[in-house]
């Protein structure tokens, strides 16, 4: 199941996670979008979350297929999913960490850079375990 995931991540120079982590995360995604060309997965994105907060992760398009609108369509489909799942008179928060230099891509879809007047800095912590 995760072979296409590994290949896409490698195609853009991203590090892969362990097979155990990958299988578990792919199986627990709320919503996954894949773009397929000639029976080959050329793009993907995953949505994780709990119904109040959603996080867009793993938006990746193979370099040979970039610039064709595939990534934008993937993100638009994930946003549409959250819109469908958000009840009337309610709100949901969609978050992500953009790859360096890709911020404008997300701003075109209504995302705002952090920090801004309402939010402080986005933060992350990586836990790396070695034998």
Summarize pLDDT for 82-130 with one digit per residue, the tens: 999 999 999 999 999 999 999 999 999 999 999 988 899 988 898 888 8
Instruction: Report yes or no on 15 lying in a domain.
Output: yes
How much is the pLDDT for 7?
93
Instruction: Report yes or no on 121 lying in a domain.
Output: no
Dihedral-angle region of residue 44 (phi above 0 means left; psi in -120 to 50 means alpha; beta otherwise): beta
**Order of strands, sheet of 53-61, starting from the edge strand that comes earlier in the sequence:** 31-37, 40-49, 53-61, 93-96
pLDDT digits (tens, 9 = 90+) for 17-57: 999 999 999 999 999 999 999 999 999 999 999 999 999 99
Instruction: Report yes or no on 116 lying in a domain.
Output: no
| Average pLDDT over every residue of 51-70 | 97
The Cα–Cα gap between 119 and 131 comes to 38
How much is the pLDDT for 129?
87
How much is the pLDDT for 44?
97
Number of domains observed in the structure of the chain? 1
Return the SS3 of 61: strand
Instruction: Report yes or no on 117 lying in a domain.
Output: no
The Cα–Cα gap between 49 and 99 comes to 20
Instruction: Report yes or no on 86 lying in a domain.
Output: yes
Instruction: Report yes or no on 22 lying in a domain.
Output: yes
Distances 33 to 72, 79, 80, 89 between C-alpha atoms, Å: 11, 11, 12, 27
Instruction: Report yes or no on 76 lying in a domain.
Output: yes
Instruction: Report yes or no on 21 lying in a domain.
Output: yes
Q: Terminus-to-terminus CA distance in the chain, angstroms?
A: 26
Domain residue limits at 28: 3-107
pLDDT at residue 1 is higher than 60: no
CATH of the domain at 102: 3.40.630.30
């Amino acid at each position: 199941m995760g072979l296409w995931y590994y290949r896409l991540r490698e195609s853009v120079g991203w590090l892969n996670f362990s097979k155990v982590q990958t299988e578990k995360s792919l199986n627990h995604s709320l919503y996954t979008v894949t773009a397929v060309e000639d029976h080959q997965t050329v793009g993907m994105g995953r949505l994780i979350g709990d119904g109040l907060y959603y996080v867009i992760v793993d938006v990746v398009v193979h370099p040979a297929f970039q610039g064709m609108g595939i990534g934008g369509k993937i993100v638009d489909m994930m946003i549409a999913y959250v819109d469908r799942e958000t009840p009337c008179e309610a709100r949901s928060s969609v978050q992500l960490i953009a790859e360096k230099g890709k911020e404008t891509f997300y701003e075109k879809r209504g995302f705002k850079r952090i920090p801004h007047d309402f939010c402080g800095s986005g933060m992350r912590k990586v836990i790396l375990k070695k034998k």
